[in-house]
A and B are shown apart, each in its own frame.
Chain A
């Protein structure tokens, strides 16, 4: 059964050196398919199981980590080019996206979690169908939650407006922690919010600064000791062994005593 590896690209940004590493890995392990994912990352599809630790090691040596592309966890933060490169941009959406993706790295959740940051209401990063959509406006950011581009397309609902990058992180973190604590396994944020009501979310995340801080701090506490399972598979022989096929010499078989 072939596997796929999606190297993490924080906020969707990459570098020539990273691209070279990805290209080298794709050639070295004869990766049959290389494509862009829906979350704007590069997918290396069709890797043999026994090659996985080597692929992770090669990418790791170049400073790249896994993108948790299939986990019930933080997936990607998609960004537009924002004020950095767009004449319409009101906020630096790429920088904001990188901060959010780094903050949430390794976060498990009841189901997958996707974010997007757009630099202005033209919304090129499609923030309207994300679990958290952040849209830059002149006076700061608008936050939207519980959007979904999956089986049932749902437009994200307006949560509140904030002024600074730090507030975007605190409000987003608090919302996700609330979802982590109250959501059922396999319940996306759109279903969770439909169940508990947007007012319930607002009461905890927007209207009660103390509660918001506590939620945010619990998330930070949970994330502080994250250990990358892919690097563990590379470094720990006991874990790595699982990927190795046992080869036997049938002709020179030993005789059981």
Chain B
């Protein structure tokens, strides 16, 4: 596996919160669910580019702060009836550390 980068400790993302990683591929939003899983999405809503990292995390979904698209954290897909997809980034937890894959 290539391109894995250790970005932060799990503790540094609040439960149901998010952090932004500035990368050469644009801002990447890391989301932590209530049950401590972490997902990574391009920080750009498929609707009009809203910052998903500033949305509200509920279950495995984040609601965009601009117009309320619900985006699945696992696949970046907008929940129907909305359409669109935010690019997904692989994230792994290793002990207390959060790793992100940049390919």
Given the complex of chains A and B, what is the CA–CA distance between A247 and B3 in angstroms?
16
Chain A residues, Cβ within 8 Å of B37: none
Q: Is B86 an interface residue (CB 8 A)?
A: no
Q: Is A17 an interface residue (CB 8 A)?
A: no
B25 to chain A, nearest CB (A): 9
Q: Is B79 an interface residue (CB 8 A)?
A: no
Instruction: Establish whether residues A250 and B24, one from each chain, have CB atoms under 8 Å apart when the complex forms.
Output: yes
Chain A residues, Cβ within 8 Å of B5: 248, 250, 253-254
Q: Is A256 an interface residue (CB 8 A)?
A: yes
Given contacts A238-B14, A242-B19, A248-B22, contact A255 B50 (CB under 8 A): no
Name the residue on B nearest A241 (C-beta): B12
- B37-81 CB contacts (< 8 Å) to partner A: 50-51, 54, 65-66
Sample of 19 A–B contacts (CB below 8 Å): A1-B50, A1-B51, A1-B54, A244-B19, A245-B27, A246-B7, A246-B22, A246-B30, A247-B22, A248-B5, A248-B7, A248-B21, A248-B23, A250-B5, A250-B23, A253-B102, A256-B6, A256-B94, A256-B99
Chain B residues, Cβ within 8 Å of A248: 5, 7, 21-23, 100
Instruction: Establish whether residues A246 and B20, one from each chain, have CB atoms under 8 Å apart when the complex forms.
Output: yes
Given the complex of chains A and B, what is the CA–CA distance between A44 and B102 in angstroms?
37
A235 to chain B, nearest CB (A): 16
Given the complex of chains A and B, what is the CA–CA distance between A49 and B65 in angstroms?
14
B5 to chain A, nearest CB (A): 4
A206 to chain B, nearest CB (A): 41
- Please tell me which one of the listed residues A242, A244, A256 contacts residue B17 in the complex, with CB atoms under 8 A apart: A242
Other A-B pairs, 12, CB within 8 Å; known A245-B27, A253-B102: A1-B65, A244-B19, A245-B20, A245-B21, A246-B20, A246-B22, A250-B5, A250-B23, A250-B102, A253-B5, A254-B5, A254-B6
Instruction: Establish whether residues A253 and B4, one from each chain, have CB atoms under 8 Å apart when the complex forms.
Output: yes
Q: Is A257 an interface residue (CB 8 A)?
A: yes
Residues of A within 8 A of B (CB): 1, 49, 238-239, 241-242, 244-248, 250, 253-257
Q: Is B34 an interface residue (CB 8 A)?
A: no
> What class of interface size applies to chain B in its complex with A?
20 to 34
Given the complex of chains A and B, what is the CA–CA distance between A256 and B97 in angstroms?
11
Chain B residues, Cβ within 8 Å of A238: 14
Instruction: Establish whether residues B65 and A255, one from each chain, have CB atoms under 8 Å apart when the complex forms.
Output: no
B71 to chain A, nearest CB (A): 16
Instruction: Establish whether residues B3 and A246, one from each chain, have CB atoms under 8 Å apart when the complex forms.
Output: no
Given the complex of chains A and B, what is the CA–CA distance between A89 and B21 in angstroms?
57
Given the complex of chains A and B, what is the CA–CA distance between A256 and B94 in angstroms?
9
A246 to chain B, nearest CB (A): 4
Given contacts A242-B19, A248-B22, contact A253 B12 (CB under 8 A): no
Given the complex of chains A and B, what is the CA–CA distance between A253 and B21 in angstroms?
14
Chain B residues, Cβ within 8 Å of A242: 14, 17-19
Q: B22, B30, B92: which has the most chain A beta carbons within 10 Å? A: B22
Given the complex of chains A and B, what is the CA–CA distance between A246 and B17 in angstroms?
14
Chain A residues, Cβ within 8 Å of B7: 246, 248
Given the complex of chains A and B, what is the CA–CA distance between A115 and B34 in angstroms?
39
Nearest first, the 10 closest Cβ-Cβ pairs linking A and B are A256-B4, A253-B5, A246-B21, A1-B51, A245-B20, A254-B6, A245-B22, A246-B7, A248-B5, A246-B8
Instruction: Establish whether residues B94 and A257, one from each chain, have CB atoms under 8 Å apart when the complex forms.
Output: yes
Given the complex of chains A and B, what is the CA–CA distance between A50 and B9 in angstroms?
19
